[in-house]
Amino acid sequence: MPDRLNVGAIGLGRMGRVYAANLAQRVPHARLVAVADQKAGLAESFAREFGVARFYESHHDLLGDPDVHAVAVITSTSTHKEMIVDAARAGKAVFCEKPIALALDDAIEILRVVEETGAFLQMGFQRRFDAAYAGARRKVEEGVIGTPVVFTSISRDPCRPPLEFCDPKISGGLIADMGIHDFDVARMYMGEVKTVHAIGGALAYPEMKEVGDIDNAIIDMVFESGSLGVVQLSRNSVFGYDIRGEIWGTKGSIQIGYFRQTPILMMTREGITHDAVPYFFERFESAYLTQIQDFVDRVLNGQKPAITGADAVAAMRISLAATASFREQRPVDIH
């Protein structure tokens, strides 16, 4: 393989900067050669700070740069279709942060273009690259817990987003916005989902009713194998970021969990206390790095994507069915 992959980063918002900085400084086989962001001056200032050779406001210009062999798309979801389609047609390998799209039609159109062009598209679901989730997968595959029969996943954010981002038309709603990570790892461990049923409510932040969203939900799942699953989502994990999973098998169980930010235990008259991981970036910092390294290495080595567009669509179908189940108060099959 060539020494390094020349990558361009599109989108320099909060997560975009993380990806671009990782590509600039911490991914051995990547060379960040260009950045683009439609906000005036943002790409330039990032390029100066990190020593990136070229910067653009338009993603078209970046895609037209012959020195760019691959792109990382970290823009808002509503632009993913345009970015992926343009990049695929320009012959670039593409990494795109989840979710693939807001509407299923858009996602299917993306898959079509990717197939037509033969483009390399790897989707970002960083949880698969977390040491715990990946380690659990290896243990399951080794048969340590026998046949997995129940999957449990808990995802709880420390607070709700600003109300304007809670509008389900923008975010997809709690179940789609947060649950897609859980649905993705559900598929990874357990295979395809046959039926979902969801309940939920605006229980901690009544104001979320105004925008039509909820703050807590429980989704149960029957997999095609007959195995069972349950996902819990919440926006009011006031103590920190609560991400847990369990794969329950016929010969044992794997618990995935990690509450502590620092290995300090305070023991005082008030009790024995420790801190908690504050939020997703602290919890998954190294998973984000590992994920983009994986993309770079797969492109360089001519391997297949670790997480395909079809994977992203499959997780999306579960999200949409669960959202429908919640609204219609009945179990919904996945098609």
Closest approach of Cβ 139 to a second copy, in Å?
7
Q: Which stretch binds a second copy (CB under 8 A): 61-69, 86-94, 169-177, 271-279?
A: 271-279
Q: Does 12 bind a second copy (CB under 8 A)?
A: no
Check: CB of residue 146 under 8 Å from CB of residue 251.
yes
Q: Does 255 bind a second copy (CB under 8 A)?
A: yes
Distance CA(22)–CA(2), nearest Å, equals 19
Please pick, from the candidates 2, 91, 257, 278, the single residue that binds a second copy as defined by CB under 8 A: 257
Q: Does 136 bind a second copy (CB under 8 A)?
A: yes
Angle between helices 280-301 and 14-25 (to 10 degrees): 50
Residues whose CB falls within 8 Å of the CB of residue 14, separated by 6 or more in sequence, listed in order:
none
Q: Does 131 bind a second copy (CB under 8 A)?
A: yes
Smallest CA-to-CA distance from 204 within 155, 160, 153 is with: 160
Closest approach of Cβ 296 to a second copy, in Å?
14
- Supply φ then ψ for residue 329, to 5 degrees: 50, 50
Region of 91 please: left (phi>0), alpha (psi -120 to 50) or beta: left
Check: CB of residue 248 under 8 Å from CB of residue 229.
no
Distance CA(327)–CA(201), nearest Å, equals 11
Which 141-170 residues touch a second copy, going by CB under 8 A? 144-145, 147, 149-150, 152
Please pick, from the candidates 132, 174, 185, 292, the single residue that binds a second copy as defined by CB under 8 A: 132
Distance CA(170)–CA(257), nearest Å, equals 30
Distance CA(192)–CA(183), nearest Å, equals 10
Measured from the CB atom, the residue of 33 and 73 that comes closer to a second copy is: 33
Measured from the CB atom, the residue of 26 and 39 that comes closer to a second copy is: 26
Closest approach of Cβ 90 to a second copy, in Å?
28
Closest approach of Cβ 266 to a second copy, in Å?
6
Q: Does 271 bind a second copy (CB under 8 A)?
A: yes
Which residues of this chain interact with a second copy, rule CB under 8 A?
Answer: 25-26, 28, 131-132, 135-136, 139, 144-145, 147, 149-150, 152, 195, 197, 199-201, 203-204, 216-218, 220-222, 226-230, 232, 234, 236-239, 242, 248, 250-276, 329-331
